[in-house]
Amino acid sequence: MSRHVAHPPAGDPSIGRPRPRSGAVSLAVVLAAALLIPSALAQAIPMPRPAPKVRDGAQAAKPVDSVRTAGPQITGTTRPPDPIIPDRRRNVPANIFATFSADQKAAAARVSPYLSSLQTLAGNFVQVGPDGSRSTGQFYIQKPGKVRFEYDPPSPIAMISDGSSLAVRDTKLATQDIYPLSQTPLRYLLSDRIDLMKDTNVVAVTSDDLYISVTIEEKQAMVGTSRLMLMLGAKDGQLKQWTVTDPQGYDTTVAIYNLNTTAKLDPGLFKIDFSNYPTTSNN
C-alpha cells in the first residue's frame, strides 16, 4: 500500500520534479539507468518513516533459498532491519575542493578491503522507495559483476546481471529491459577489487559508534548526477545498507541481513533469459 501523498503548498520548489516511483520498480530503474522517467507533475512527498521494529515472536522474512546455496555461514542480524532513511538535506552539491581528515581516510580505508574481500554474498533485503513504500526479497552476488535481486510477491520484478548486462524483468508483463552494467551505481559493489578513494569520486565520509558511511558521486553528461551511499557497521565492518540517489534527488534505500559470504551459488541464477522474454535494449 502506497503512502498518502500531500499536495504541495504554493511556491513549493518540488513542483515540476518527476514523481518518484515506488517499490521494486524504483530500485530497478535507478540501478539500471540511474534515471527516473518523468511521469507527471511532482507532489510533495513526506519523509519515509522507519517501520516498527519486529516484535519478539514475529515472523521474519523467509531465509535465502537453501537449495541454491550450500555451506551457509550466516552473519549479522537474522531479523528484518529497519532501514535508516538518510536526511534528504544531505543531497547538496559537493565541494570539488573538499579534503578529508586523517580519520575520514582511515574510515574509508576500512571499507575498501572489506568490499574487495567479498567474492560471494547472499541474503535478504528490505527496501524503502522514494515514497516510503517497502519491499522485501532475496539477493545473490557473485563477483565480478553478477547479481540477482528477487522481490517477494506481489512484486513481479527481478533483476539479473550476467557480468556485462543487467536485465530488469517483469514477470507479470513477461518483458525485460537490458542495460549495460557500466550504467549501474552498484557496479562498485560488484567490482572484484576496489579502492574507493582512488577508483571512485568519494564526496563524503562519516563515522560514529554505529556506522561508517561513504558516499560516492557520479556525473554523467546525458543522465545527471547520481550518488551511492554505503553504510557499514562500525564494530563488525560488514555492509548494512546502501542508498541510491537518482539525478532528481530521490532516494532508494536497501538494508540487508541474513548475510551468507560462503554460499555456493547456482550459475543459473545469473543467466539472462533472452528467449522467453521480449527484450528492450537501453544502450
CATH number of 23-47+61-281: 2.50.20.10
Compare 241 and 67 and report the one with higher pLDDT.
Answer: 241
- The enclosing H or E element of 33 equals helix 23-33
pLDDT for 170 beyond 90 = yes
CA triplet 28, 31, 32: central angle to 5 degrees? 80
pLDDT for 255 beyond 60 = yes
**CA-to-CA dists, residue 69 to 114, 122, 126, angstroms:** 22, 9, 20
Query: Can you tell me which residue has the cell 564526496?
Result: 203
Separation CA 169–CA 171 (nearest Å)? 6
For residues 148 and 270, the answer to whether their CB atoms sit within 8 Å is: yes
Main-chain dihedrals φ then ψ at residue 85, nearest 5 degrees: -85, 115
Separation CA 224–CA 90 (nearest Å)? 17
Of 101, 146, 131, 97, residue with least CA distance to 253: 131
Query: Can you tell me which residue has the cell 551468507?
Result: 260
Q: What percent of the chain has pLDDT over 70?
A: 69
SS3 for 119-153, per residue?
CEEEEEEEEECCCCCEEEEEEEEECCCEEEEEECC
Could you tell me the pTM of the whole model? 0.71
Separation CA 110–CA 197 (nearest Å)? 11
Of 250, 257, 244, residue with least CA distance to 186: 244
Q: What is the pLDDT of residues 200-218, one digit of tens each?
A: 889 999 999 999 999 999 8
Q: What is the pLDDT of residues 4-62, one digit of tens each?
A: 434 444 444 444 444 444 445 445 544 543 322 222 222 222 333 333 333 333 334 34
DSSP one-letter code for 227: E
Kind of pairing between the strands at 224-233 and 146-151: unpaired
For residues 194 and 116, the answer to whether their CB atoms sit within 8 Å is: yes
- Supply the pLDDT for residue 225: 86
